[in-house]
Chains A and B, each alone.
Chain A
Amino acid sequence: MTDALYELTIHEIHDLLRSKQVSAREVAESFIRRIEEVDSRVRAFITTTPEHALKQAEAVDEVLSRGDLLANPLVGIPVAIKDNMCTRGILTTCASKILYNYKPIYDATVVERLNESRAILVGKTNLDEFAMGSSTENSGFFVTRNPWNLDTVPGGSSGGSAAAVAANECAFALGSDTGGSIRQPASFCGVVGMKPTYGRVSRYGLVAFASSLDQIGPITKDVTDCAIVLNAICGKDPRDSTSLDVPVPDFTQSLRADVKGLKIGVPKEFFGFGTDPEVEDAVRSAVDLLVELGAHAEETSMPSVEYGLAVYYIIAPAECSSNLARYDGVRYGLRVAPDSGTVTRQTREAKSSIVSMFEKTREQGFGAEVKQRIMIGTYALSAGYYDAYYLKAQKVRTLLRRDFDKAFEKFDVLITPTSPTVAFGIGERADDPYAMKLADICTIPANLAGIPGISVPCGFKEELPIGLQIMARGLDEETLIRVAFTYEQHTEHHRKRPPL
């Protein structure tokens, strides 16, 4: 029995803990063994924390032995956290050499909330460096493999988190999504991933990539678990001015198989980016199924969507160029000594030696993709180019938001592919940055508009999962959960696990 615990969902493990059929320690041990068994092949984790996990699990068991603490469904549940969220005293590298040794002195708000829920941290997962990328190949340390086919990528940037969930190395994981970094890897790895509305989840302690787009969300084995995790992590945080002060509903109340009268829009532009025919078929079949169950579907058009990628690649690099300026070797992380010969006693020359330290540290600490984005962003914000690039991009972003507002006047949800294709081969798109960025073309618009989106498994192409993206109005995660849950109740895709 306990050997297969790692295969279970949050709600299944919760039931076993509550009926005292297993202890939290047994659960933690099962996942720790599973990581030992498969992670040398998957390589989802930058850091594993088995001792920490066992200590947390024992503390849970002790509390459980004294009385019932199981009102919270995350008690004793093993979680993996993307390595760009701060964990006090535990390495938080952002998969960057520049933070190779960085141990935060505080917990991110989401980590605090998971700790309060008494979830068990089993490790920190790999990502594209500073969450910049779509395949986890941009990690400064190593490439994570897709558990369905170890020669393909897990997607990115939350590739480690999605792979860890798919490979049963944790019961659920947290990812962050700036342009699709939760949904796209969830799609590639055949799991459920949600990017909540911008402001639903506190960003405090999430190492910033593009502050106006970043949002933390859950990666889970099914929609029920997604609702459970959302309940734990959503809500206003006084430490994040952009977090929204709105009531948080009990998302598990939306786990109802009912789409009668639901209005679905299918925007044709999302199928136009070299979408794989099998992906399009799977998505359209999913829409057909929902229609059979009582929903109405209609094709629609959102013309501004085609500018999404262009807008994103101005705004995100612009913000990142400023957000990543702090990595300079002065206070923490990597420090590379200045070129010898520049250090002298004169003030002016001493300054040039600090500049040399900045330059050497950043030159050796950042990878190629990060440097490219910093340069693009620096350029876009420069005097004389600001209006033409950054300001123009912000205006187009407003147009895109309006397109969504208009669509949601008519439809309750929009359904699209999560990504135009299934997982591609490792190295296959490494030399073709445009092809690489196309992987995010369907997910970026939701970030630009700040609306929630979820990816759920909706089929396979040659044993590789296909993802269905559902988007809803800002703050209407409840409808997303209801629609995704309804679809899941009538399909089996989410039950399949990779043959590791």
Chain B
Amino acid sequence: MAEYEPIIGMEVHVELQTRSKMFCSCEVAFGGEPNTRCCPVCLGLPGSLPVINEKAVEYMARAALALNCTILPQCIFHRKNYYYPDLPKNYQISQYDYPLGVNGWVEILAGGRSKKIAIRRVHMEEDTGKLLHVSGNRSYVDYNRSGVPLMEIVTQNPPPEGLDQIESAEEAREYLQRLRQILLYLGVSDVKMEEGSMRCEPNVSVRPKGQSEFGVKTEIKNLNSFRAVYLGVDYEIKRQIRVLEQGGKVVQETRRWDDERGVTVPMRSKEFEQEYRYFPDPDLVPLRFTEEWIEKLRSELPELPLAKLKRFMSDYGLAQADAEVLIDSPDLAEFYDACAVGYKDPKAVANWITTELLRLLNATGKKLNETKLTPTHLCGLLELVDGGTINRNTAKAVFEEMFTTGKTAPEIVRQKGLEQVSDEAAIESVVNRVLDANPNEVKRYRAGEIKLLSWFVGQVMRETKGKANPATVNKLLREKLES
């Protein structure tokens, strides 16, 4: 039996988070009352004309540069003509043979191995409205989304020399996640798959290993999460192999992912190439970019997620899994970076962030920038533990307090009198009190039930409100019980 290899192409649409739409000044936002964020331009009313949003162009140029694309000196908007009720002009302003960026790549770590996935083009267009189907043969259209700046990112198969293509469902997911991280770092989009600000339409084909021509491909729609992308692509690869192994033929078509049933189902056949009658939009003038402008944007690019990942691993000695957690959001990465520089043990501080901080963020549903915590706060707390001022358990409570109030650790410790008691005489009196009050337990311990030690420790800690130095408590208890 032949072995098959899958090849996956990715078409990703990303809504930009500009203040206003691509060709008019209407506000860009998610949701809201239908048709409240529209004007003659994004409604395509007769006589209205588009005007290019320069901020959107800048955002997309930054993205194109971060995806290692070449920005073409001339950039032209074309009209893509097709009829659909969510498209108010019945043409979409898009790009054709002069897109914003070409020939880029996104690096992914596929099973630890680096692959550079080839990107053919990055282009700008306007989003459509949304159809709302209700019962009784009625449909409504909401044009709030109409005209929102949209960026299309398309991979290139086969890739040019030195670059790679996506060859598994894992790689497809990894590619999307890296892409999402990059765009998040650039601050150009909120890239939320569930809200549709990042939309992905993979196409899948398989071919017998060793064959150079591509197999027939199918396109998958309705993938609303990274998980769905993984499952949908994986399903489609297996389905196509099964079809071929049974002597059948893969039909070129668009298939819909059914998340509940976990299968792809046929949507429409794609035997005929859609006729879009592209031509340059005569209402807009070509954009021309100077070398200085492009270089300025390039120099302003932040450190990108994968570079950060590698740096965290090499400079701070983190494992990849921990580093991935820290770089996943730019805020968290920045926070960690500051802590790692401000504190002697980068791994220990990473541990605090990935456990305590993330736990609190999850529990409160807050974003990092909505809390009052600063890197200095966290470093200060760890130093208090190191210096023996508080113990680790108290530190967790102090951390929670810092998280909500924004007070510094020393402040909280001082105000609440949480300083660790290391004074042996003071602890000894408590230890004596505990032993005197529990003669039965003392007897049992001395009879060999030594696991009762931790129970005695607990009693002492409760008496001291958790402030006693645990090492001293242990030492004194042992001495007295075993004497």
Q: Are A322 and B279 in contact (CB under 8 A)?
A: yes
Q: Which residues of B contact A210 (CB under 8 A)?
A: 282
Q: Are B47 and A108 in contact (CB under 8 A)?
A: yes
Q: A241-B285, A242-B285, A381-B81 are in contact. Are A326 and B44 (CB under 8 A)?
A: yes
- Tell me whether B284 is interfacial, beta carbon within 8 Å: yes
Query: Which chain B residues numbered 244 to 288 have a C-beta less than 8 Å away from chain A?
Result: 273, 275, 277-279, 282-285
- Tell me whether A482 is interfacial, beta carbon within 8 Å: no
Q: A330-B85, A343-B137, A358-B83 are in contact. Are A378 and B45 (CB under 8 A)?
A: no
Our pick among A94, A105, A354, A378 for the contact of B40 (Cβ within 8 Å) is A105
Q: Are A238 and B91 in contact (CB under 8 A)?
A: no
A263 CA to B290 CA, complexed, in Å = 40
CB-CB contacts of A351-386 with B at 8 A, as 1s and 0s? 001110010000000000000000000100111001
Q: Are B47 and A331 in contact (CB under 8 A)?
A: no
- Tell me whether A85 is interfacial, beta carbon within 8 Å: yes
Q: Which residues of B contact A99 (CB under 8 A)?
A: 46
Q: Which residues of A contact B277 (CB under 8 A)?
A: 321-322, 378, 381-383, 386
Q: Which residues of B contact A347 (CB under 8 A)?
A: 133
Q: Are A211 and B137 in contact (CB under 8 A)?
A: no
CB-CB contacts of A430-446 with B at 8 A, as 1s and 0s? 00000000000000000
A94 CA to B137 CA, complexed, in Å = 32
Q: Are B91 and A211 in contact (CB under 8 A)?
A: no
- Tell me whether A311 is interfacial, beta carbon within 8 Å: no
Q: Which residues of B contact A331 (CB under 8 A)?
A: 43-45, 88, 141
Q: Are A325 and B83 in contact (CB under 8 A)?
A: yes
A241 CA to B24 CA, complexed, in Å = 12
Q: Which residues of A contact B88 (CB under 8 A)?
A: 326, 330-331
- Tell me whether A332 is interfacial, beta carbon within 8 Å: yes
Min C-beta distance of A313 to chain B, whole Å: 16
Q: 30 pairs across A/B with beta carbons < 8 Å? A: A92-B46, A94-B46, A99-B46, A106-B40, A106-B48, A205-B48, A207-B47, A208-B46, A211-B283, A241-B51, A241-B284, A242-B284, A318-B279, A322-B91, A322-B277, A325-B83, A326-B90, A328-B83, A328-B90, A331-B45, A343-B137, A345-B137, A347-B133, A350-B133, A353-B137, A354-B85, A354-B139, A381-B278, A383-B273, A383-B277
Most chain A beta-carbon contacts within 10 A, residue among B46, B48, B273: B46
Q: Which residues of A contact B48 (CB under 8 A)?
A: 106, 204-205
Q: Is the interface of B mostly helix, strand, loop or mixed?
A: loop
Q: Which residues of B contact A207 (CB under 8 A)?
A: 46-47
Q: Which residues of A contact B139 (CB under 8 A)?
A: 350, 354
Q: Which residues of A contact B284 (CB under 8 A)?
A: 241-242
A332 CA to B141 CA, complexed, in Å = 13
Q: Which residues of A contact B273 (CB under 8 A)?
A: 383
Q: Which residues of B contact A325 (CB under 8 A)?
A: 81, 83, 89-91
Q: Which residues of B contact A318 (CB under 8 A)?
A: 279
- Tell me whether B50 is interfacial, beta carbon within 8 Å: yes
- Tell me whether A390 is interfacial, beta carbon within 8 Å: yes
A382 CA to B276 CA, complexed, in Å = 8
Q: Are A241 and B83 in contact (CB under 8 A)?
A: no
Min C-beta distance of A396 to chain B, whole Å: 16
CB-CB contacts of B41-61 with A at 8 A, as 1s and 0s? 001111111111000000000
A280 CA to B137 CA, complexed, in Å = 64
